[in-house]
Amino acid sequence: MINNFSKFDEIRNAIGFILAPITFFTFLLIPTPQTYIEYVSNNYANLDFNQIQQIAFGMKIVTALLFTMVILWITEAIPIPVTALLPAVILPLFNVKGIMNNEIIEFNGKNVLANYANPIIFLFLSGFLIARSMQKWNLDRRLTYSILSFKNLADNPSLIILALLLISAFISMWISNTATTAMLLPLVIGIVNITKNSDTKNFSKALALSIAYGSSIGGVATLIGTPPNGICVSILRTSGNYDINFLEWLKIGLPITFLLIPVTWFILLKVFPIEIKNIPGGKDYIKNLKKEMGPISKGEKFTLIGFVLLLILWISNPFWNIILPDQIYTQIKNFDESLIALSIAILLFTIPVDWKSKKFVLDWKDSKFVDWGTLFLFGGGIALSDAMFRTGLAGWIATTVLKIAGQPHPIVIVLVVVIFMDLLTEVTSNTAVTSMMVPILLSISIALGIDGKLLAISATLAASMAFMLPVATPPNAIVYGSGFIKITDMVRAGFILDIVAWIIITISLYLFSYLVFGIVKF
């Protein structure tokens, strides 16, 4: 089956290599569409003929860039992060022009590359470094073993599945979903080996899927939980002037995570009925793992202190104007969540765990564990979004969609967006899909007269709900590679969970985000 996936990837890559350049040069060679010229003329009455032609030409180039990037992202003909660098080259190369504050601007190297240094990128850079500190000093493992060694939890098959769902969800709120699953998989294998004398195929399947699904579900809870969250917020900030801070995202994502965890547990137990009632020696196995770690190290202590301080500052940040004296608040009012995270990350580089050997909590070698490709993807998504809005392409798309679809109820739109995004991310990168869809959905929401955050956030949450296929997410691929599950097993459980996720996201956005917190408006 893995060979079949490899063959599929080869064909997909080949199609992308051929189709992407053909698509780009086809758009480049055709005349500027008259509908683009009419849109610019109707919406920017202060422009003369030549300026209208320039902006419309820019729309054509951005359209070519958009389609080319979509093809390359879906087919992965070249690495996804490399595709994200295309706006930095294409926009200045073709002298694309847009409009900002009713004035014509030129997309030169300076202003395009500024998108690759967006504050949200430094937020995730800091998050990657802090996550590395947790992994380096095994703070994540100690947390896992401490929870699983509680009372007789590790001896109960159904409870240990729930525990791993909760643990993987919590860890992936702060560490990448992939790293979380990879860290927990050896533990799953060890637990399965304890029960190898019994028929425990269903238990093995449910156990493996619990860490994959838990990692994906937990990622939506926080702003740094998964890259699509950050991309959504950065595009909302730069294109729609909507500012969502860490606490506001927590209000949106955490209820959805809390709802999905017990539902996922129920689905796994029903789809894969557990064959055993207890796990003999399970508690002892976990206790031995914890014992092997020894006493808590200085590195763990300092990392934990830094992490707790980070949470306190993030959560309290929106209330600094209330709880701090005016003089202090005036001094630090521009200190947002990105700068808070960056400060903690820098601090970890300065704290020694062994002064004699010059060993610090973090050193520069740890930077190799930063997911630099994801940071490039952030920049590319923001640059593409900015070009779509400045040239007017996003507005043209919104107007066109509005003519075709009319004005259905916002809940219907949200449900359609959630289903579409979920199915799309079953076969391609959720980060790439979010980068290309959020600006389009934001412009559509503006045309419909509804809150711009509504469609953007619903699409972003749905992008992390791909549970059916191994290729959908790295956590799915990791547990599939363990050999415990077949594709049919993942489809059986994942299809049901997908449908439930569609409903929960749609209802939760309405109940929690709108009625309770008023963050988005239906």
From first to last of its 522 residues, the chain has per-residue pLDDT tens of 445 556 777 888 999 999 999 999 999 999 999 999 999 999 888 888 999 999 999 999 999 999 999 999 988 899 999 999 999 999 999 999 999 888 899 999 999 999 999 999 999 999 999 999 999 999 999 999 999 888 888 889 999 999 999 999 999 999 989 999 999 999 999 988 887 766 788 999 999 999 999 999 999 999 999 999 999 999 998 876 688 889 999 999 999 999 999 999 999 999 999 988 888 888 888 889 989 999 999 999 999 999 999 999 999 998 998 999 989 999 998 999 999 999 999 999 999 999 988 899 999 999 999 999 999 999 999 999 999 999 999 889 888 887 887 778 888 889 999 999 999 898 788 888 898 899 889 888 888 888 888 999 999 999 999 999 888 888 998 999 888 899 899 999 999 999 999 999 999 988 888 887 788 877
Which residue from 398, 479, 384 is spatially nearest to 436, judged by alpha carbons? 384
The answer to whether 337 touches 317, Cβ cutoff 8 Å, is yes
| DSSP annotation of 354 | E
Residue 359, beta-bridge partner list: 354
pTM equals: 0.88
DSSP element (H, E) containing 518 = none
**Residue holding tokens 């415990």?**
484
Dihedral Cα 67, 85, 370, 163, nearest 10 deg: -10
Angle between helices 474-481 and 487-508 (to 10 degrees): 150
SS3 call for 38: helix
Secondary structure E strands in 101-236: 103-106
Secondary structure (DSSP) of 330-353: HHHTT--HHHHHHHHHHHHHH-EE
Cα–Cα distance, 457 to 414 (Å, whole number): 10
Encode 456-492: b = buried (16+ Cβ within 10 Å), e = exposed: bbbbbbbbbbbbbbbbbbbbbbbbbebebbebebbeb
Sort strands 352-354 and 97-100 into parallel, antiparallel or unpaired: unpaired
Q: Which two tokens mark 108?
A: 């030169």
Cα–Cα distance, 464 to 229 (Å, whole number): 9
Q: Nearest 5°: phi and psi at 303?
A: -65, -45
Q: What is the CA radius of gyration of the chain?
A: 24
Sort strands 359-360 and 352-354 into parallel, antiparallel or unpaired: antiparallel
